[in-house]
């Protein structure tokens, strides 16, 4: 297990290294001189040269790359040119919006989807299965930002229960903060729950057709125990795969939802930074997201081994 973990972490670090090179390289070939973009077309050549010097754009590419990577290792992500504050501060400000949002919607979707999927598989072909899978079919087809618009119209414009957008900040208290994140979290969770319910159901169906399930039933084990103890555990691998994918999606997929609700999260930060060519912010946020996806992947791989002892031996 230790060797397996060490291998996974090594691969994770390697992924981060390659990713940093790719991110830096891609943004390096981006058309447009950042200094020119900041000062506009009417800038004097002297001002331009000064700014380029100040931004370190005159240094060799490799030196700038290693300065950037070395800085990140000690928590220095550089300084944003448009916000004129350290990137790490900008990220810290936004993470407290994006992370709770991702976690709330992941909890919502998992709490709905897994029981629905198991229940449908157990009652395959019955009315309850048909209704819940019909609902899941429609849920998969709904664009989350359109669903968000409908939620705003019903709950914010009509019923006036929650704000239609914006974020008051956690300093205003926990409840107003959660209230502002509620509609976005529901909008994000619905399509995810629909996908997860379908995957859970088809994984369960696959497992329920196995011989060991029949054996467990034949030796007199109650249906419920077979379902939750034997079948669910064996059906977890595809479910975990999709959960991992979905968490990655939630971290950055909030770009659109954050735009719909005017939430000051990471997605909006990186979207604005891309359109304003504030490269250092884009690089910092992307690396942070890549790092969190790498961590999620390692956790998913460990969970594979936890639920399936056969994989522990193979690894």
Partner 1 sequence: MRFNDVVFAFPALLSAVMITAIFGPGAINAIIAIGIFNVPVFARVARAGALSLWPREYVLAARAAGKGKALITIEHILPNIASILLVQGTIQFALGILAEAGLSYLGLGAQPPMPSWGRMLFDAQTRMMVAPHLAIFPGLAIVITVLGLNLLGDGLRDMLDPKLRRQR
Q: Which residues contact 131 (CB under 8 A, 6 or more apart)?
A: none
d(CA 193, CA 113): 5
DSSP secondary structure code for residue 42 in this structure: T
Q: Are 39 and 48 in contact (CB under 8 A)?
A: yes
Shortest spacing between CB 304 and partner 1, in angstroms: 8
d(CA 64, CA 59): 7
Shortest spacing between CB 149 and partner 1, in angstroms: 5
Whichever of 18 and 57 has its CB closer to partner 1, that residue is: 18
Shortest spacing between CB 103 and partner 1, in angstroms: 16
Cα separation values, 253 from 44, 144, 174, 265, Å: 40, 10, 24, 11
Shortest spacing between CB 261 and partner 1, in angstroms: 11
Q: Which residues bind partner 1 (CB under 8 A)?
A: 11, 14-16, 18-19, 22, 26, 30-31, 124-125, 137-138, 140-147, 149-150, 152-153, 157, 191, 195, 198-199, 202, 205, 209, 237-238, 241, 245, 248-249, 251-253, 255-256, 259-260, 267, 270-271, 274-275, 282, 286, 289-290, 293-294, 297, 304, 308, 310-311, 314
Whichever of 177 and 199 has its CB closer to partner 1, that residue is: 199
Encode 205-226: b = buried (16+ Cβ within 10 Å), e = exposed: bebbeeeebeebeeeeeeeeeb
Whichever of 109 and 177 has its CB closer to partner 1, that residue is: 109
Q: Are 259 and 268 in contact (CB under 8 A)?
A: yes
Shortest spacing between CB 74 and partner 1, in angstroms: 22
d(CA 227, CA 234): 10
Whichever of 92 and 138 has its CB closer to partner 1, that residue is: 138
Whichever of 94 and 198 has its CB closer to partner 1, that residue is: 198
Cα separation values, 28 from 38, 40, 63, 96, Å: 16, 20, 13, 30
Shortest spacing between CB 271 and partner 1, in angstroms: 6
Whichever of 63 and 131 has its CB closer to partner 1, that residue is: 131
The token duo for 103 is: 């976690």
CA-based nearest residue to 94, from 271, 248, 243: 271
Shortest spacing between CB 50 and partner 1, in angstroms: 27
Whichever of 7 and 223 has its CB closer to partner 1, that residue is: 7
The single residue listed with the structure tokens 């998913």 is 300
């Amino acid at each position: 297990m230790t060797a397996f973990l060490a291998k996974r972490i090594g691969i994770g670090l390697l992924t981060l290294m390659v990713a940093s090179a790719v991110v830096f390289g891609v943004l390096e070939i981006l058309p447009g001189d950042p200094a020119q973009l900041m000062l506009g077309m009417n800038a004097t050549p002297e001002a331009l040269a000064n700014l380029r010097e100040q931004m370190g754009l005159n240094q060799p590419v490799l030196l700038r790359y290693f300065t950037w990577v070395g800085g990140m290792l000690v928590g220095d992500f550089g300084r944003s040119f448009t916000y004129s504050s350290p990137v790490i501060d900008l990220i810290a400000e936004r993470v407290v919006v994006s992370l709770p949002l991702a976690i709330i919607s992941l909890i919502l979707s998992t709490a709905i989807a897994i029981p629905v999927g198991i229940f449908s598989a157990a009652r395959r072909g019955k009315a309850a299965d048909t209704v819940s899978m019909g609902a899941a079919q429609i849920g998969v087809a709904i664009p989350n930002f359109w669903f968000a618009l409908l939620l705003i119209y019903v709950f914010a414009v009509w019923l006036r229960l929650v704000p239609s957008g914006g974020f008051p900040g956690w300093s205003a208290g926990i409840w107003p903060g959660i209230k502002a994140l509620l509609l976005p979290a529901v909008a994000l969770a619905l399509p995810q729950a629909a996908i997860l319910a379908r995957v859970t159901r088809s994984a369960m169906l696959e497992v329920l057709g196995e011989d060991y399930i029949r054996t467990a039933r034949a030796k007199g084990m109650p249906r419920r125990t077979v379902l939750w103890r034997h079948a669910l555990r064996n059906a977890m691998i595809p479910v975990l795969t999709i959960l991992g994918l979905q968490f990655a999606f939630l971290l950055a997929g909030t770009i659109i939802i954050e735009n719909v609700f005017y939430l000051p999260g990471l997605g909006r930060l990186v979207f604005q930074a891309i359109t304003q060519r504030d490269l250092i912010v884009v690089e910092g946020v992307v690396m942070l997201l890549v790092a969190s996806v790498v961590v999620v992947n390692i956790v998913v791989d460990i969970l594979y081994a936890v639920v399936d002892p056969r994989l522990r031996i193979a690894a």
